[in-house]
Amino acid sequence: MSNAPAAIVVGAGIAGLTTALAMAQHGLPVRIYERAPELTEVGAGLQLSPNATRLLARLDVLDALGEHAVRPQAVALMQARSLSLLASMPLGDVGEARWNAPYLVTHRADLQSALLERARSEALIEVVTGAFVEKSELSKDGGARLHIRRNETIEDICTPLLIAADGVWSHSRRLIRSSVRSRFTGYIAWRTTLPMTAAKTALGDALAADRVTAFLDPAFHLVAYPISNGRAINLVAILPGEVPLDAWAQDADDAPLKKVLTRANPSLGRLAGAEGARWTVWPVHAVTPADAWTSPQGLALVGDAAHAVPPFAAQGAAMAIEDAVVLARLLARTPGAPAPALAAYEAARKPRVVRVARRGAFNRFTWHARGPVAFARNLVLRRRSEEALMADFDWLYGFDADAPQNL
Ligand SMILES: Cc1cc2nc3c(=O)[nH]c(=O)nc-3n(C[C@H](O)[C@H](O)[C@H](O)COP(=O)(O)OP(=O)(O)OC[C@H]3O[C@@H](n4cnc5c(N)ncnc54)[C@H](O)[C@@H]3O)c2cc1C
């Protein structure tokens, strides 16, 4: 890379790679430091709603994602106990025409590879893997100093702008927040992928191969959707629980999951125990979006580092992608003087992420409802027209983070 980077990005997850691509699109050179020697991702899927895919398309990432992504035709809510349909909202062509971008589901590893492939093809982006940013500090005169461990060597570098995309367990967060730790929500996410045939054997017609299905129960919710060109299904069950360690996926004894799912409906229990199911548990952590995201000295938090939102609205990655595009657009307006752009970024993004977090909390309340609340929910959902269901998502899926009125 010939140009000195305008910014250092810590972390090559969805937030870090998208930020780098968006900055390069505005002619701003970036270097990313990623601690993992190789970018691999354990088996897990990701829903990408139109507010995210419209931005990925402009960064030429959707083409690279290509056939790895599946375009579901609907999202359905079902009662886990009776396996009966509560509501079905169209996606596919109908959703694309309404929100001007596709709703896609994919494997996280496929999105990560598509982003990385695009980043590696950009002359303005340098991706350095196996580089652990073990210390960082803001300088009084502006900018930041980083202490980077790579193999056995240590490097000290200065940057006018530090973009921290280091995820829910961000260390960079301590540079601007007094409370740096993420909060365990009391929920854990159980995740696996299964061959579609095995899932269909367990669930029969209750599982449509071309839609996103959420099975609701007071004790859990289970989301199922196709990935890998429809050959496999991604399953995520979210239920209360305890996982002591701060770590992503861990193998786990799946007996408690099977018990809860079987109690709701034996077919769901068979799904959990289907051949090839290897469940991992993920503690669901949250980071409050209401606290500071930036420092005028030259620091911006993006993605989960700023605001990890529990996955009840399936919007964490989408919010990271929106952050990235907005930050890059604003930085490009005042190159070399990031302070006003950083303030404008925080002001533009915070209300949106707070609203998304509220929607997630509402989903958690209604999806896990019991008794009269569940009864009322079912009544309302069964009576809602497709138009009313879609209209409820216009503010979320129809949003263009890069539109002038949203910056
Ligand atoms: C169960 C579950 C389901 C979800 N489903 C969806 C969904 O359907 N749709 C959706 O939009 N979102 C979903 N999400 C949320 C989404 O996965 C996250 O919001 C998103 O991946 C966050 O990306 P990120 O880049 O901010 O962080 P991460 O993906 O955590 O990336 C951080 C990167 O920084 C690196 N790093 C950390 N510290 C350092 C350091 N000191 N030095 C160098 N590198 C460092 C890490 O190695 C990592 O590569 C889900 C989350 C969960 C838990």
* Domain presence at residue 83: no
Ligand 1 pocket member 311 (CB < 6 A): yes
Ligand 1 atom with least separation from CA of 36? 47
Residue 194 is inside which H or E element, if any? strand 183-195
- Residue 19 or 68, more confident: 19
pLDDT band at 67 (very low <50, low <70, confident <90, very high): confident
Tokens of 347: 């002001």
Give 37-56 pLDDT, tens digit per residue: 987 765 588 999 999 999 99
Distance 320 CA to ligand 1 centre (A): 9
Distance 13 CA to ligand 1 centre (A): 6
Checking if the pLDDT of 111 tops 90, the result is: yes
Within 13 Å of residue 340, how many CA atoms lie on the same side as its CB?
9
Q: Please tell me the residue having the least CA distance from ligand 1 atom 4.
A: 311
Distance 203 CA to ligand 1 centre (A): 31
pLDDT at 249: 54
* Domain presence at residue 81: no
Last residue within a domain, chosen from 282, 314, 334: 282
Ligand 1 pocket member 36 (CB < 6 A): yes
- Same domain assignment for residues 263 and 169: no
Checking if the pLDDT of 3 tops 50, the result is: no
Q: Which residue has 């890059």 as its token pair?
A: 328
The arithmetic mean of pLDDT across residues 88-107, rounded, is 97
Ligand 1 atom with least separation from CA of 12? 49
* Domain presence at residue 35: yes
* Domain presence at residue 79: no
Residue 216 is inside which H or E element, if any? strand 211-217
Question: Which parts of 191-237 fold into alpha helices (H)?
Answer: 196-203
What is the domain-level CATH number for residue 209? 3.30.9.30
Q: Whole-number mean pLDDT of the chain?
A: 92
Give 303-341 pLDDT, tens digit per residue: 999 999 999 999 999 999 999 999 999 999 988 889 999
* Domain presence at residue 82: no
Ligand 1 pocket member 15 (CB < 6 A): yes
Query: Quick one: what percent of the chain has pLDDT higher than 70?
Result: 96
Q: How many domains does the chain have?
A: 2
Distance 264 CA to ligand 1 centre (A): 31
pLDDT at 83: 95
Checking if the pLDDT of 283 tops 60, the result is: yes
Answer for the pair 235, 194: CB distance below 8 angstroms, yes or no.
yes
Instruction: Report which of 295, 328, 288, 335 is spatially closest to residue 310, judged by C-alpha positions.
Output: 288
Q: Please tell me the residue having the least CA distance from ligand 1 atom 33.
A: 11
Tokens of 320: 């990271």
Instruction: Report which of 307, 329, 326, 325 is spatially closest to residue 316, judged by C-alpha positions.
Output: 307
Which value, in Å, is the radius of gyration of the alpha carbons in the chain?
A: 21
Sign of torsion, CA 52 113 280 276? positive
Last residue within a domain, chosen from 263, 282, 301: 282
At position 340, the amino acid (one-letter code) is: P
What are 76's strand-pairing partners?
Answer: 88, 213
Tokens of 342: 């950083």
Give 392-407 pLDDT, tens digit per residue: 999 999 999 999 999 8
Give 190-218 pLDDT, tens digit per residue: 999 999 999 999 998 888 889 999 999 99
Print the domain residue range for 130. 7-72+88-182+287-406
Ligand 1 atom with least separation from CA of 105? 8
CA atoms of 83 and 267, how far apart (whole Å): 9
Q: Please tell me the residue having the least CA distance from ligand 1 atom 35.
A: 11
pLDDT band at 180 (very low <50, low <70, confident <90, very high): confident
Ligand 1 atom with least separation from CA of 47? 8
Ligand 1 atom with least separation from CA of 39? 49
* Domain presence at residue 245: yes
Ligand 1 pocket member 10 (CB < 6 A): yes
Helices 14-25 and 50-58, interaxial angle, to 10°? 50
The arithmetic mean of pLDDT across residues 343-356, rounded, is 97
Last residue within a domain, chosen from 282, 308, 331: 282
* Domain presence at residue 1: no
Measured at the CA of 17, the angle between CA 225 and CA 395, to 5 degrees, comes to 55
Distance 267 CA to ligand 1 centre (A): 32
- Same domain assignment for residues 50 and 141: yes
- Same domain assignment for residues 172 and 189: no
Distance 260 CA to ligand 1 centre (A): 28
Our mutation pick for probing the ligand 1 site, out of 33, 35, 91, 282, counting the most ligand atoms within 8 A of Cβ, is: 35
Ligand 1 pocket member 324 (CB < 6 A): no
At position 403, the amino acid (one-letter code) is: A
- Same domain assignment for residues 114 and 234: no
- Same domain assignment for residues 118 and 173: yes
Ligand 1 pocket member 150 (CB < 6 A): no
Checking if the pLDDT of 6 tops 60, the result is: yes
- Same domain assignment for residues 199 and 347: no
- Same domain assignment for residues 24 and 65: yes
- Same domain assignment for residues 175 and 315: yes
Checking if the pLDDT of 262 tops 90, the result is: yes
What is the domain-level CATH number for residue 47? 3.50.50.60
**Could you write out the DSSP letters of every residue in 307-320?**
H---TTSS-HHHHH
Distance 292 CA to ligand 1 centre (A): 19
CA atoms of 323 and 316, how far apart (whole Å): 11
> Can you give 86-101 as a three-state secondary structure string?
EEEEECHHHHHHHHCC
E-assigned strand segments in 11-138? 30-34, 45-48, 74-79, 84-90, 104-107, 125-129, 131-138
- Same domain assignment for residues 242 and 114: no
Ligand 1 atom with least separation from CA of 15? 25
- Same domain assignment for residues 254 and 116: no
Ligand 1 pocket member 316 (CB < 6 A): yes
- Same domain assignment for residues 172 and 304: yes
Instruction: Report which of 187, 218, 207, 205 is spatially closest to residue 378, judged by C-alpha positions.
Output: 218
Sign of torsion, CA 317 323 326 330? negative
Helix (H/G/I), strand (E/B), else coil: 349? helix
Answer for the pair 150, 128: CB distance below 8 angstroms, yes or no.
yes
* Domain presence at residue 2: no
CA atoms of 380 and 66, how far apart (whole Å): 38
The arithmetic mean of pLDDT across residues 375-382, rounded, is 95
Distance 338 CA to ligand 1 centre (A): 25
Instruction: Report which of 160, 156, 224, 165 is spatially closest to residue 196, judged by C-alpha positions.
Output: 224
Q: Please tell me the residue having the least CA distance from ligand 1 atom 50.
A: 311
pLDDT at 229: 81
Ligand 1 pocket member 184 (CB < 6 A): no
Ligand 1 pocket member 320 (CB < 6 A): yes
- Same domain assignment for residues 156 and 146: yes
